[in-house]
Structures are given as C-alpha cells and as structure tokens.
C-alpha cells in the first residue's frame, strides 16, 4: 500500500515513520525547505539550539520511548526555575504548576506573613473545600488563598501556558489532583502525592529537541520512505483507489492519506472531499535567542530560567530561559545561550532583548558580548480544542477516509503530537 503524508512537522514525521515500519511505501511532502515545523532550530555563535519546542512532557512515556527507539540519549533539565519580581528573585515552588508540595518550600518566602498564614489554613480546611473546582484557579483560591494564587501559581500559568489559572481545566492541567485532595485532605499534601519527587517533568534528546526530527527523517529514509521538501500541497481529490494529492505541477496517488498540516490548510484541502469545519483559532509565540560571552553568568547562573512574577514596565519579556544552564550541552565556545519569550502582541527589538536579559539576569550585557541574536515568530500555535469538538472532527475525517493528525487536533505539545501521529498505523 502506498501512503502520502502531508506536513513534515513532528506529527507528519512520526506518522510517516510508523507507516514505513508497517511496511507501506511512504512519501512525505513538506511545504517549507526544512523539516520539524514548530520543532525549529537556529544557529547562534556557532551552536545550533532549539528555536521552538525544547522538551517533551515525560508523563505518559511516549516521548522517551520514541527517542529510545531511535537511539537518542535523553536528559532532564538542570537547574531550578525561578520567579522574577522587581525587588528580588525567588525559586519557583517544587510542586505542580507553582502549587507547593511542602510548607518548607523556599518559594513561600515571596508571600507576606498574612498570605502565608492563609496558605497554611489548607491543612485545617475540610477536604470538601475546593473538591468541586473545575479550574486550577478555583482550587488554589479556595484552598490556599488569593496571595498564593497571585504570587505562586499565576506567574507559572502566564509564563508557561500564556493562560490565566481560571482558564486552566484541572482535568487537563493537573489530572489526579482532586482525587489526591480527597485522599489526603489538603492541597499541599495532594501535590506531594501526585508528583514524583526529584523526577523531571520534561526531557529532551541530548543536543536539542530538533535531534528527534533528524532521527525520524533518517529512519524514514532508511526504511525506504521518501521525504520531499519545498513541496506545498495545494489540492486533494478522490482518485480511483484512494486520493490524488496535488503539489506544484505534480500529482501523487495515495491509497492512504495522512494530513499532518495546520488546521487552516487541512480545512481547505478537506472541503472538496465534502468535509467542512470552522478553523480553530491560533496564537503567536515570539522568542529572541541570544548567545553571549558572560563570565558573570557562567559563574553565577540563576537556575534554568525566570518567569516574570508581575508585569513590570521595565521589562518587556515574560520569561527567560538560561538555555545553556538548563541543557548544558549547549554551553559551547565559552558562550551562554539565553531564550527570551515575549507576549504575542509585542515584536521586540534587539535593544529590548539585550536590556531585558541584563535586567532579568542582574548583570549588564554589553553589545560586544553578544555573539549571536535572532528573533523568531511562530504565527500559528494552536489554541486548545474542546474535547467534544476534537471528537466530532475525528468522526468527520474518519467518514471521509482521511487520517488527520497534529497539534491542533491532538493537543499542542510534543507528547500529544507523538501519540496522535503514531495512531495512524493502528
């Protein structure tokens, strides 16, 4: 059987890899000149680092098992993340989404005595308090109070997920936490019960997340599959035994068809097959990456990164990752690699980025210390689909006989995308 996979992001690569392994004759078509999609890369000061996704969630095990299958060595991140406030830097609570797992966590130092007292009340409240919460915000407010919500959890929600805690369903962001609250009687104890102490929540293949893209492409080719870049698919129609896929002047017959492209393209391609749906929303992610020579930073790093505790007029970025501290393989040629994330409406200048990095890190970075700098914009980050909508769409695609995969449908994030892509061979 021959199969055509449209889209060479991670979803398409995982799907093509699975189909090759299942013995199919596979052609993958990618519109751009590079594979990987949002698992992008950039070379700064002679070192290539991730410019999009940098790690997969360990939960569920699909990321690690795929890396291991492809012979990649994986590592968890080094260094602890911190929260930056205009008057100081505090470690992020070691728990779940900034909710502490212990009353001795140094992160609680950011709270006023009254806020700390309110948080401690958690141990005395009835276990029913908060037990019918549906969002992270509700639960933390009811159990730990407004201070803990604003100072411990909201910065993590905004900095990592670009969401307010009240928009984060517990079922997706902290599964098992309500059950643990019922079992233990307090939220802090529940967090301690659900997290595995010392275990990293994320990992990446050594050398960067993009190594997985290269390893998948190599495995597809080694298995006899063909990968064509700069081959945007422009139209689809039904053929005598399956589908006909149009790219440029060429058309390919496909007995099996996998669409692993963004939602907007999928909607356009599916329309002639009689499938219509409203294209879900997207958001933009903007990053500025810098490589710098800074002995001060190499000698006294501030953990793996910083999230802004409270928006501050003096700082435009919302988070900083000290990439070469978090992933030490990237510390090459005596340089440090820094990644700044910006709110979606802000396009940072290089001057902004250097000033933000200096302020965040508490060390003056001079222009002459910067060996590489690049701003990257990802314009089509999927927003979350309601599970009922995703299920409805899967039904439509399945009736049309087309496999549709990718972050917009399976859930934005490497682990969900790998699980979705691998499902095409089942």
The residues that touch ligand FAD, with contacts defined as CB under 6 A, are 6-12, 29-32, 37-39, 52-57, 232-233, 260-262, 265, 285, 287, 378, 381, 406-407, 412-415, 417
18 exposed, middle or buried (CB, 10 Å; 0-12, 13-18, 19+)? buried
CB of 260 to ligand FAD, least distance (A): 6
Query: CA dist 219 to 18, 39, 416, Å?
Result: 10, 17, 21
Minimum CB distance to ligand FAD smaller for 242 or for 262: 262
Minimum CB distance to ligand FAD smaller for 9 or for 301: 9
Three-class DSSP labels, 274-288:
CCCCCCCCEEEEEEE
Minimum CB distance to ligand FAD smaller for 66 or for 110: 66
Q: Dig out the tokens for 359 from the structure.
A: 């302020």
| Contacts with 165 (C-beta within 8 Å, 6 or more apart), sequence order | 97, 135, 136, 137, 140, 149, 153, 154, 157
How far apart CA 81 and CA 93 sit, in angstroms, is 9
Helix, strand and coil in the chain, % to nearest 5: 40, 25, 35
CB of 299 to ligand FAD, least distance (A): 27
| Contacts with 356 (C-beta within 8 Å, 6 or more apart), sequence order | 315, 316, 317, 320, 340, 348
CB of 56 to ligand FAD, least distance (A): 5
| Residue 323: other Cβ atoms inside 10 A | 26
Minimum CB distance to ligand FAD smaller for 63 or for 100: 63
Q: Where are the alpha helices (DSSP H) in 106-209?
A: 113-120, 136-144, 146-148, 154-161, 170-173, 177-184, 187-194
Minimum CB distance to ligand FAD smaller for 15 or for 370: 15
CB of 337 to ligand FAD, least distance (A): 15
Place of tokens 């933390």: 140
CB of 62 to ligand FAD, least distance (A): 11
CB of 129 to ligand FAD, least distance (A): 33
Minimum CB distance to ligand FAD smaller for 177 or for 404: 404
CB of 291 to ligand FAD, least distance (A): 18
Minimum CB distance to ligand FAD smaller for 12 or for 280: 12
């Amino acid at each position: 059987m021959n199969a055509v996979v449209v889209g060479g992001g991670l979803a398409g690569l995982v799907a093509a890899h699975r189909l090759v392994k299942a013995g199919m004759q596979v052609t993958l078509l990618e519109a751009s000149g590079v594979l990987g999609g949002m698992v992008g890369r950039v070379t700064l000061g002679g070192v290539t680092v991730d410019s999009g996704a940098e790690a997969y969630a360990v939960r569920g095990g699909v990321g690690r098992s795929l890396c291991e299958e492809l012979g990649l060595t994986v590592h968890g991140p080094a260094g602890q993340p911190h929260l930056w406030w205009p008057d100081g830097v505090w470690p992020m609570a070691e728990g779940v989404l900034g909710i502490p797992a212990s009353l001795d966590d140094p992160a609680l130092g950011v709270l006023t005595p009254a806020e700390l007292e309110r948080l401690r009340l958690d141990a005395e409240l009835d276990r029913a308090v908060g037990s019918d919460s549906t969002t992270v915000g509700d639960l933390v407010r009811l159990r730990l109070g407004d201070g803990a919500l604003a100072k411990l959890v909201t910065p993590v929600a905004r900095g990592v997920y670009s969401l307010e805690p009240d928009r984060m369903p517990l079922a997706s962001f902290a599964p098992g936490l309500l059950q643990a609250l019922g079992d233990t009687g307090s939220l802090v104890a529940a967090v301690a019960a659900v997290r595995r102490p010392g275990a990293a929540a994320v990992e990446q293949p050594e050398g960067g997340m993009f190594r997985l893209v290269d390893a998948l492409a190599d495995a597809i080719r080694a298995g006899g599959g063909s990968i064509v870049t700069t081959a945007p698919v422009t139209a689809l129609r039904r053929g005598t035994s399956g589908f006909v896929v149009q790219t440029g002047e060429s058309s390919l017959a496909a007995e099996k068809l996998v669409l692993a492209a963004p939602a907007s393209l999928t909607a356009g391609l599916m329309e002639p097959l009689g499938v219509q749906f409203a294209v879900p929303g997207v958001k933009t992610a903007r990053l500025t990456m810098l490589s710098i020579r800074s002995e001060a930073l190499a000698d006294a790093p501030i953990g793996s990164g910083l999230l802004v505790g409270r928006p501050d007029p003096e700082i435009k970025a919302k988070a900083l990752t000290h990439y070469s501290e978090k992933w030490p393989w990237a510390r090459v040629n005596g340089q440090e690699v820094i990644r700044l994330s910006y709110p979606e409406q802000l396009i940072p200048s290089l001057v902004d980025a250097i000033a933000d990095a200096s302020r965040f890190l508490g060390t003056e970075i001079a222009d002459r210390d910067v060996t590489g700098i690049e701003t990257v914009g990802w314009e089509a980050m999927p927003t979350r689909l309601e599970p009922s909508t995703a299920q409805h769409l899967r039904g439509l695609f399945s009736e049309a006989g087309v496999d549709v995969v990718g972050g917009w449908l399976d859930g934005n994030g490497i682990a969900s995308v790998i699980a979705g892509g691998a499902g095409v061979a089942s």
